[in-house]
Structure 1
Amino acid sequence: MRFKVVVNQEQDHPVVHLTDTQTGCTAELFVFGGLLNAYHIPLDGSLFNCVDGFNSVKEAKENITTAFKSAKISPFVCRLQNGQYHYDGQSYTIRKNYLGNHALHGLIYDAVYELGTITETEEAAAITMTHQYQRNDPGYPFSYTISLHWELRPNNHLSVTTSIMHSNSNPIPYADGWHPYFTLGGPVDQYQLQFDADTQLEFDAALIPTGKKIKDERFLQKQSLENIFLDNSFELGLNGKCVLSNQHLQLDVVPDEHYPILQVYTPEHRKSIAIENLSGAPDNFNNGIGLLMLLPNKQYQFKTSYQLTKL
Structure 2
Amino acid sequence: MAVKQKQKEQLDTIVKLGNLDNTYAKINLTQGGAIQSLVYGNKIIIDENQSYPYASSLLFPFANRVEKAKYTFNKTSYELETSAVDNVNAIHGLIYNKTFQVLDKNESSVKLVFNQTEKHKGYPFLYQILLTYTLKSNGLELQMDIKNLDSQSIPFSLGWHPYFNTSNLQESFLIMDTSKRFLVNEIMIPTEQEDIQWSNTNVIGDKSYDDCFELNTNQVILKTPDYQLKLTSQPKADYLQVYTPNDRNSIAIEPQTAPANSFNSQIGLQVIEPNATYTQKWLIEIK
When the two structures are superposed, what TM-score results if normalisation uses the length of structure 1? 0.84
What secondary structure sits across from 1:267 in the alignment?
coil
Q: Where do 5+ consecutive residues of structure 2 fail to align?
A: 1-6
Q: CA deviation at 1:167?
A: 2.5
Moved more, 135-144 or 227-236: 135-144
The equivalent of 2:154 in structure 1 is 172
Q: Deviations over 1:106-131 (max 9, x none)?
A: 111001100012244xxxx2111000
Is the CA contact (8 Å cut-off) linking 1:238 and 1:257 kept in structure 2? Answer: no
**Number of residue pairs the alignment of both structures matches:** 279
Q: Deviations over 1:227-246 (max 9, x none)?
A: 2111111111232x111112
Q: Where do 5+ consecutive residues of structure 1 fail to align?
A: 1-7, 56-62
Q: Deviations over 1:195-250 (max 9, x none)?
A: 1222112222222111x22122224x2331112111111111232x1111123311
Q: CA deviation at 1:183?
A: 1.0
Moved more, 244-253 or 172-181: 244-253
Q: Deviations over 1:172-203 (max 9, x none)?
A: 111111111111223x2221111122211222
What secondary structure sits across from 2:105 in the alignment?
strand
**AA aligned opposite 1:137:** H
The equivalent of 2:231 in structure 1 is 253
Q: CA RMSD in A?
A: 2.0
The equivalent of 2:285 in structure 1 is 307
Matches within 5 A, 1:180-191: 180-186=162-168, 188-191=169-172
Give yes or no for the alignment of 1:208 onto 2:189.
yes
**AA aligned opposite 1:109:** Y
Give yes or no for the alignment of 1:238 onto 2:233.
no
Give yes or no for the alignment of 1:87 onto 2:73.
yes
The equivalent of 1:116 in structure 2 is 103
* Alpha-carbon separation, structure 2, partners of 1:131 and 1:247: 38
What secondary structure sits across from 2:282 in the alignment?
strand
The equivalent of 1:3 in structure 2 is none
* Alpha-carbon separation, structure 1, partners of 2:142 and 2:201: 26
Which of the residues 57, 71, 75 maps onto 1:71? 57
What secondary structure sits across from 1:218 in the alignment?
coil
Find runs of 4+ consecutive structure 1 residues off by over 3 angstroms. 52-55
* Alpha-carbon separation, structure 1, partners of 2:225 and 2:11: 38
Is the CA contact (8 Å cut-off) linking 2:167 and 2:225 kept in structure 1? Answer: no
* Alpha-carbon separation, structure 1, partners of 2:12 and 2:78: 32
* Alpha-carbon separation, structure 2, partners of 1:260 and 1:192: 20
Give yes or no for the alignment of 1:289 onto 2:267.
yes
Is the CA contact (8 Å cut-off) linking 1:84 and 1:92 kept in structure 2? Answer: yes
Q: CA deviation at 1:254?
A: 1.2
The equivalent of 2:4 in structure 1 is none
The equivalent of 2:207 in structure 1 is 228
Q: CA deviation at 1:20?
A: 6.0
* Alpha-carbon separation, structure 2, partners of 1:226 and 1:13: 40
Is the CA contact (8 Å cut-off) linking 1:53 and 1:181 kept in structure 2? Answer: no
**AA aligned opposite 1:271:** N
**AA aligned opposite 2:89:** H
